[in-house]
Every structure is written in structure tokens, then in C-alpha cells.
């Protein structure tokens, strides 16, 4: 598209907004006279929005007025035709750019041999980074902004009860051009983000090389775990092993604390050459003690790199901080509202009640890592080795899982036709990291389920994650193919796709043919969701407050950020977790890798748990598969509008807290 722009070095000019209120008023007045039967309010909104994006390089104020008079579409049928054509072309552009990124990053995400520097450069390249600017240069952006103007979150919420599906789709087209951010800034954000992803994807701990003070090893020699996901899941896997499990969990937690405070020796990361005692931080080579340098705060430098890159976007956006863009923009829930909800939840008395129940079930005092207590899940009493045997046999490689997708959907109640339709549009790939779901952005392309599968076959941890990612893929496919307008494809925010992924993940044992006949099943499921929500809300609150701190300290060093994160994490722990756990000053909330490779994302998980709970409550009286299809055909309207359309209620913490209290009493009384 760049080649279609015939410029005369105007791209080198300093871009300055040059449309004044006088020009806007004159343009609105002219258009109102030209189209007396048109909606005057819509004319004014469109002109004001287009004016907010116009720069001196686009033309003079007189050029702007002429452009608006020429480009405004007053006829309803012509506007609908324009909408259809723009939607089709955006799908073509988004879809192909998404495919380019997918293919360029394959060497980084999939086990395709050694990664060399050229792979990293191509992986960080964003072919679509110039798209939006090109659409400004050839005036298509102004044409769309004029005729399909932007509505704020508040305005969307005010109109939610009266808008038709088409009006929602028109409003979503207005969201395409809300800010004019230079392409080089977008490209830099992409490159920095890719570097952070690579940093985390290679943050493996060789568990078989961990030792205690007697040089005793406890983990399998070939066990390599990715931080933090696999480390956390390793802790979860030992709840069925009594006192021996506590010892192993403590060793994993010691590793986590070394990662958080960056005292972990650099050369034990992604390297099995050394034996390492994480409790004492002593390192050995062939039995002899050696001294290794600590990781040089790289974890926190990655966060700063992302902050600096995203901060450059602030001056060009009406949502002038990355925090506002992540919450009011992407999530369409304000950060203040999110924090208020999380604080209210984590102050609930029912948490102490559930904490006492967990203590009783464990037969010991709570440990910090019990934020990941897994004993409410049906599989918690099943030996993980038995589960590994089943999953390794069933899924020795990615192809085996790919071949089984339709069968999994049938078990969930989808029709033969729908199961085949979805399975044909989801590809399974082996992953270097823990795995992720990558959706298609246009019809005709497939979604990708990426999951780590060792040579010995898929272990249970990998299978559990894969079913979560499969839930993402099903949502991505249904909400692309079955939604009535392309501009409404997807869901309100990633919390909703996380919610469906959780719903799938919770049925992992069912999909293995292992039924839970426990009469306490429903109460246990409520408690499991309640405790998981408690854990992730604390981490999410840390993520929020860390970013707010960064904006208050924009020139902070990696060392200063590390100290701030540890302080914030401990403060949150002491306020909301110490009263339940009986132990203070724990930094465990700071271990999450999302803080590095998925900036300001964690709150989506917290909302995902809330939404999952509300959807699960609704599904109790409905058939799973048909309702999943109906709910995810609603598309990407605002969160509360979606909840009202799907469940006839707003996002709420009330029902989960109340049900958890009832469930805790029920379980404790048996």
C-alpha cells in the first residue's frame, strides 16, 4: 500500500494537528446543510473524530473541509455497502498480516532447530506495522473515521441497551482508528515484545540438577521446567505425596524466590552443566563448588524495555497511558474498577474460611505456595504418574492430538458436523515453550494450538495446558466463522476467551474418560475456582500497581524496579494473604512470567475466572455445546453488554463468594 502513496517528502515533515474548532464547526455546518435529513449528531461526531486524526501532512484545514464534504455518506444503503466492503478488505489485510507473523515466528515458537540471530530479527518484524499509517496517507482512514466514528467506553455502555447488531458493528469499525501512532513506534513495540517472549521461552530450570545440602537430587534427571508455568505446575503435582511432596514444593519455591530477587546464577538458567542448591545458592561442577555470577536483573530490564516502548505510544492516543489502553481500551473495564473489584474480593471473610479448610485437608500449616493448592480438583488424588502414562500413550506427538480434536469435541457434546468443522480449522503444533493458542484473523486460515510435547510423549501437565489452549481455539474459530459481522468477530476482551479456555480445561479428565463420581464434586469445583481467583487477583493487582509505579518513576533502573516489585508484592501479600496463610513478607506473587512477556495482561485471567464461574453456573441448567456456540456467536460487544446478552447479568464477585462460603461449610461438615 505504500507504493500507492505518491508523496513529495511530506513524510519527512513534523506532523502537527492543524484542524481547529472553527474548521470543525464550519465543516459540520456545511455537511448539515448538504444533508438536511441526515443525523446531525452523527455528522458532528464523525467530523470531530476525523479532525482529531488529521495532520498538516494530510492537507490544509480547507482540504479537510473539502474532503469531508466529498466523503460523507448520508444515504443509508450506500453506507451499508461501504461498511460491507471495508469489512471485507480489513479481513483480507488483518488475516494475511496475521499469517505472515505466524509463519515468521514459527522458528521461535516451534522446535525447528537452533535459533540464530536472524530468526529473532524476522520474528520481531511486524509486516503490518505500517498498515494504519498507510491508510491515513491514502485517506481511507479518514473516510472510515468520518462515516464510522469512535465511541468511548462510557458511550458504548450508555447505548448498549438500544443498539442493533449492525450499530454495534458500525461502532466497532469506529474503533479501528482511535489513535494515530507512527509505524516506527509500533514496530519497536513488536520487536521489544518478541525479545521478551524469547527471554521467557528460554527460561528453563534443569530440575534434575537441583541438590540439597547433602548433594541429594530429588527430581528426574531429564526434567526441565519452564518458569513460571512448569514450576508452578510441578508444585501442584506434589499435593498427593504428603510430607515428601512438601519438601519438593519447598525446593521449587526456593528456585522461584531466586528468580524474583535475581540472585539465581546466570549459568544455571537453561543449562544443565551445574548442580545447584537453590536454598543456599551454592553451585557445583563435577562435585566441586564454583562461583557463578547472578543474573544481572535481566528479568526487570525486559519489563522496562516494554514500558519504554509502549510509553512512546502515549502522546498519540486519547487513552494516554499503556494502563488506560490495556483496561479502558482493550478490556473495556477501567483499571480503577478492576482494582476495586479485586480488593473487595480479596478482603472477603470466606477466604479465611476456605484457608482453614485447606489447612485441615493438608494436615499442616499453610505455606506460601499453597496459593496454588490443587486439592479441590478431581485429579488431585490421582497419582500424576498414572495420568502421565495415559497422556503419553494417547498423545506421543502433535499429530496424535491433532487427529483427536474432533473426538474431543464429540465428547463435549458437539454434533458430528460441528466437531469436524472446528477440528478442520485448528492445527496442532509442537511448541518450544509451554504452549499458546494463535487464532486466525480471516476465514480460510486455521487457528493453531501449540503445546510442548517431549520425545517421551505428552505428559499430563502439557495435556492440561493443551486443553486450555484448545478452548481458546474453539472460541477463536466460532467467533470468527459464526458471528454475523466480521467487525464483531471475537469476544469483548481476552478475559472472555480465558473463561472459555478454563471451562474446557476443567473438563480435561472427562475427556480422558475418567469420570468423577464424587458427591462433593460441585462444591469442590466452586472452591477450586474461588481459590484460583484469589491467587490470580493478587498477581493481577501486582501487575497493575507495578505499571502505575513505572509511570510514576519513568526513569527507573532495573535494580530500582526489582526492589519496587518485591515491595509491592510483599505489601499485597501482607494485606490480603498473610491474614489467611499466617505467614508474612512473601514475594511469591512476583514470579509470574506474564509480567515480562505479556504486559498488563494478567487481569484478564482474574476476570476470566469470574466470567467462567458465572458461565458455569448458567451451564448447570443448559447443554454445554449448544450454549458454547450461542454465547460465542455474541461477538465483541462490551463486557457487560455481552454478559447481559448471554447470561442476563453483569460481571460480579457476589455469587462466587456466596457459593464458596456454602461449599466450604458443606465440605467441612462431611
Q: Around 356, how many Cα atoms within 13 Å sit in the side-chain half-sphere?
A: 10
Question: Which three cell numbers mark 179?
Answer: 489513535
Residue 461 has pLDDT above 90, yes or no: no
Which position has the higher pLDDT, 609 or 344? 344
Which position has the higher pLDDT, 297 or 182? 297
Range 147-156 average pLDDT: 94
Each residue of 485-495: pLDDT tens digit?
999 999 998 88
Whether residue 523 contacts residue 663, with contact meaning beta carbons closer than 8 Å, is answered with yes
Query: Measured at the alpha carbon of residue 349, what is the angle toward residues 348 and 352, in degrees to the nearest 5?
Result: 115
DSSP state for residue 488 in the 8-state scheme: G
List helix spans (H) across 262-334: 298-311, 322-324
Interatomic CA distance for residues 613 and 606, integer angstroms: 11
The pTM score is 0.80
Of 126-140, 161-175, 629-643, give the lowest mean pLDDT range. 126-140
Which position has the higher pLDDT, 499 or 355? 355
**How many other β-carbons are positioned within 10 Å of the β-carbon of residue 624?**
15
Which position has the higher pLDDT, 452 or 363? 363
Each residue of 115-124: pLDDT tens digit?
989 998 898 8
Each residue of 194-239: pLDDT tens digit?
999 999 999 999 999 999 999 999 999 999 999 999 999 999 999 9
Q: Look at residue 392 in the predicted model and tell me its pLDDT.
A: 96
Q: Look at residue 459 in the predicted model and tell me its pLDDT.
A: 92
Each residue of 533-561: pLDDT tens digit?
999 999 999 999 999 999 999 999 999 99
CA-based nearest residue to 344, from 572, 655, 25, 653: 653
Confidence of residue 433 (pLDDT cuts 50, 70, 90): confident
Helix axes 229-236, 242-261, angle to 10 degrees: 160
Range 304-325 average pLDDT: 95
Q: Look at residue 379 in the predicted model and tell me its pLDDT.
A: 57
Distance of CA 665 to the CA centre of its chain: 34
Please, what's the b/e burial string for 280-307 (b: 16 or more CB within 10 A of its CB; e: otherwise)? Answer: eebbeeeeeeeebeebebebbbbbbbbb
Residue 33 has pLDDT above 90, yes or no: yes
Question: Which three cell numbers mark 525?
Answer: 469445583
Q: Look at residue 325 in the predicted model and tell me its pLDDT.
A: 95
Question: Which three cell numbers mark 223?
Answer: 526434567
Each residue of 289-311: pLDDT tens digit?
999 999 999 999 999 999 999 99
Average pLDDT in the chain? 93
Q: Look at residue 338 in the predicted model and tell me its pLDDT.
A: 96
For residue 110, give Cα distances in angstroms to 265, 528, 656. Answer: 27, 32, 38
Cis status, amide bond into 596, omega within 30 of 0 = no
What does residue 276 show for φ and ψ, rounded to 5 degrees? Answer: -140, 130
Confidence of residue 378 (pLDDT cuts 50, 70, 90): low
Interatomic CA distance for residues 524 and 516, integer angstroms: 11
Residue 3 has pLDDT above 80, yes or no: no
CA-based nearest residue to 94, from 405, 445, 378: 445
Coil, strand or helix at 426:
strand
Range 436-442 average pLDDT: 92
Q: Look at residue 612 in the predicted model and tell me its pLDDT.
A: 87
Q: Look at residue 12 in the predicted model and tell me its pLDDT.
A: 54
Q: Look at residue 7 in the predicted model and tell me its pLDDT.
A: 41
For the chain, the first-to-last Cα distance in angstroms comes to 68
Which position has the higher pLDDT, 1 or 64? 64
Residue 1 has pLDDT above 60, yes or no: no
Whether residue 321 contacts residue 551, with contact meaning beta carbons closer than 8 Å, is answered with yes
Interatomic CA distance for residues 430 and 216, integer angstroms: 33
Range 104-131 average pLDDT: 88
Q: Around 523, how many Cα atoms within 13 Å sit in the side-chain half-sphere?
A: 15
Amino acid at each position: 500500500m505504500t507504493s500507492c502513496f505518491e508523496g513529495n517528502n511530506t513524510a519527512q515533515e513534523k506532523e502537527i494537528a492543524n484542524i481547529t474548532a472553527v474548521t470543525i464547526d464550519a465543516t459540520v455546518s456545511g455537511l448539515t446543510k448538504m444533508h438536511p435529513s441526515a443525523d446531525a449528531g452523527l455528522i458532528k461526531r464523525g467530523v470531530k473524530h476525523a479532525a482529531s486524526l488529521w495532520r498538516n501532512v494530510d492537507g490544509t484545514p480547507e482540504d479537510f473541509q473539502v474532503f469531508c464534504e466529498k466523503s460523507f455518506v448520508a444515504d443509508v444503503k450506500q453506507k451499508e455497502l461501504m461498511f460491507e466492503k471495508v469489512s471485507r478488505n480489513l479481513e483480507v489485510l488483518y488475516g494475511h498480516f496475521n499469517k505472515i507473523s505466524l509463519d515468521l515466528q514459527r522458528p521461535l515458537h516451534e522446535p525447528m532447530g537452533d535459533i540464530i540471530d536472524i530468526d529473532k530479527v524476522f520474528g520481531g518484524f511486524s509486516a503490518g506495522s505500517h498498515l494504519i499509517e498507510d491508510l491515513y496517507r491514502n485517506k481511507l482512514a479518514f473516510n472510515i473515521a468520518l462515516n464510522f466514528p469512535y465511541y468511548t467506553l462510557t458511550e458504548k455502555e450508555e447505548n448498549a441497551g438500544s443498539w442493533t447488531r449492525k450499530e454495534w458493528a458500525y461502532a466497532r469499525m469506529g474503533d479501528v482508528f482511535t489513535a494515530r501512532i507512527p509505524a516506527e513506534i509500533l514496530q519497536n513495540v513488536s520487536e521489544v515484545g518478541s525479545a521478551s517472549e524469547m527471554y521467557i521461552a528460554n527460561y528453563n530450570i534443569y530440575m534434575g540438577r537441583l541438590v540439597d545440602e547433602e548433594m541429594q537430587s530429588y527430581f528426574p534427571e531429564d526434567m526441565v521446567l519452564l518458569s513460571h508455568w512448569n514450576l508452578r505446575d510441578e508444585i501442584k503435582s506434589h499435593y498427593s505425596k504428603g510430607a515428601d511432596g512438601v519438601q519438593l514444593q519447598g525446593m521449587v519455591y526456593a528456585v522461584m524466590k531466586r528468580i524474583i530477587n535475581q540472585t539465581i546464577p546466570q549459568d544455571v538458567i537453561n543449562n544443565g552443566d551445574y548442580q545447584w542448591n537453590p536454598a543456599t545458592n551454592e553451585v557445583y561442577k563435577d562435585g566441586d563448588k564454583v562461583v557463578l555470577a547472578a543474573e544481572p536483573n535481566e528479568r526487570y530490564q525486559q519489563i522496562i524495555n516494554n514500558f519504554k516502548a509502549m510509553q512512546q505510544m502515549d502522546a498519540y492516543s486519547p487513552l494516554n497511558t499503556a494502563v488506560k489502553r490495556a483496561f479502558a481500551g482493550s478490556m473495556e473495564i477501567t483499571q480503577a474498577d478492576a482494582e476495586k473489584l479485586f480488593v473487595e474480593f480479596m478482603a472477603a471473610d470466606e477466604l479465611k474460611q476456605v484457608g482453614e479448610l485447606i489447612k485441615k485437608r493438608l494436615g499442616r500449616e499453610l505455606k506460601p505456595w499453597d496459593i496454588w493448592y490443587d486439592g479441590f480438583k478431581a485429579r488431585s488424588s490421582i497419582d500424576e504418574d498414572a495420568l502421565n502414562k495415559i497422556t503419553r500413550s494417547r498423545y506421543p506427538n502433535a499429530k496424535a492430538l491433532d487427529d483427536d480434536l474432533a473426538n474431543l469435541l464429540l465428547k463435549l457434546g458437539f454434533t458430528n458436523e460441528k466437531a469436524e468443522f472446528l477440528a478442520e480449522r485448528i492445527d496442532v503444533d509442537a511448541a518450544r515453550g509451554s504452549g499458546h493458542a494463535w487464532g486466525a484473523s480471516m476465514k480460510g486460515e486455521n487457528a493453531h494450538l501449540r503445546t510442548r510435547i517431549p520425545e517421551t510423549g505428552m505428559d499430563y501437565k502439557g495435556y492440561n495446558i493443551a486443553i486450555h489452549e484448545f478452548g481458546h481455539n474453539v472460541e477463536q474459530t466460532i467467533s470468527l466463522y459464526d458471528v454475523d459481522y466480521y467487525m464483531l468477530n471475537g469476544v469483548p476482551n481476552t478475559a472472555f476467551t480465558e473463561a472459555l479456555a478454563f471451562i474446557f480445561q476443567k473438563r480435561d479428565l472427562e475427556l480422558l474418560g475418567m469420570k468423577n463420581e464424587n458427591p462433593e464434586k460441585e462444591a469442590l469445583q466452586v472452591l477450586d475456582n474461588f481459590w484460583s481467583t484469589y491467587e490470580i487477583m493478587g498477581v493481577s493487582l501486582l501487575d497493575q500497581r507495578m505499571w502505575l509505579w513505572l509511570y510514576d518513576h519513568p526513569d527507573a533502573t532495573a535494580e530500582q524496579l526489582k526492589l519496587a516489585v518485591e515491595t509491592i508484592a510483599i505489601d499485597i501479600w501482607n494485606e490480603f494473604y498473610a491474614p489467611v496463610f499466617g505467614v508474612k513478607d512473601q514475594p511469591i506473587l512476583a514470579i509470574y512470567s506474564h509480567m515480562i512477556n505479556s504486559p498488563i495482561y494478567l487481569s484478564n485471567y482474574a476476570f476470566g475466572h469470574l466470567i467462567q464461574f458465572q458461565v458455569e453456573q448458567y451451564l448447570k441448567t443448559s447443554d454445554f455445546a449448544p450454549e458454547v456456540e450461542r454465547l460465542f456467536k455474541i461477538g465483541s460487544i462490551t463486557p457487560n453488554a455481552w454478559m447481559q446478552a448471554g447470561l442476563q447479568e453483569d460481571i460480579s464477585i457476589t455469587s462466587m463468594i456466596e457459593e464458596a462460603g456454602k461449599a466450604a461449610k458443606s465440605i467441612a461438615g462431611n
